[in-house]
Amino acid sequence: MRGKPAPKRDIEGDIRYNDKNVAKLMNYIMRGGKKTAAEKIIYGCFDIIKDRIKQDPRHVFNKALKRVSPIVEIRGKRVGGANYQVPFQVRGERRFALGCRWLIEAAKARKGKPMAEKLADEILEASEGEGAAVKKRDMVHRMAEANKAFAHFSR
């Protein structure tokens, strides 16, 4: 590894809610530097959630993220000429990033609606423990459980 690792930057909260998690989600959705487009998607999504279930959309989002974020994941590790799928515990920052990524991918996979509606549907389903993002997390956990025998290779 050359040089030193890049310093972690502290990001500011978003405009409407002053919440760092919402701002990070907005940055994950943003493509090509178009932050206003990402803001429209996120705020539109949160307005839809507020209209449908009459709760604070941030609480629903955090609940959905908690249900989607993985606790363990598998990584390939080469030991003595063989590759093993070794389960590792996921750090907090990576948990958030994977949870957001899976929510966004699941929303993009839905067809026929604007992105704000698709994301709102996925967040609502994830907060209830359903939806494609939750299935993805369950699949990752099943893979880690199946490869638990190789956990001693983690160090």
- Helix ranges (H only) for the chain are 20-29, 35-53, 57-68, 92-109, 115-127, 132-146
Res 115: pLDDT: 95
Res 150: pLDDT: 86
Q: CA separation (Å) from 38 to 7, 44, 131?
A: 25, 10, 22
CATH assignment of 20-154? 1.10.455.10
Res 38: pLDDT: 96
Give pLDDT tens digits for 26-42.
999 999 999 999 999 99
Domain borders along the chain are: 20-154
In degrees and rounded to multiples of 5, residue 129 shows phi and psi of: 85, 25
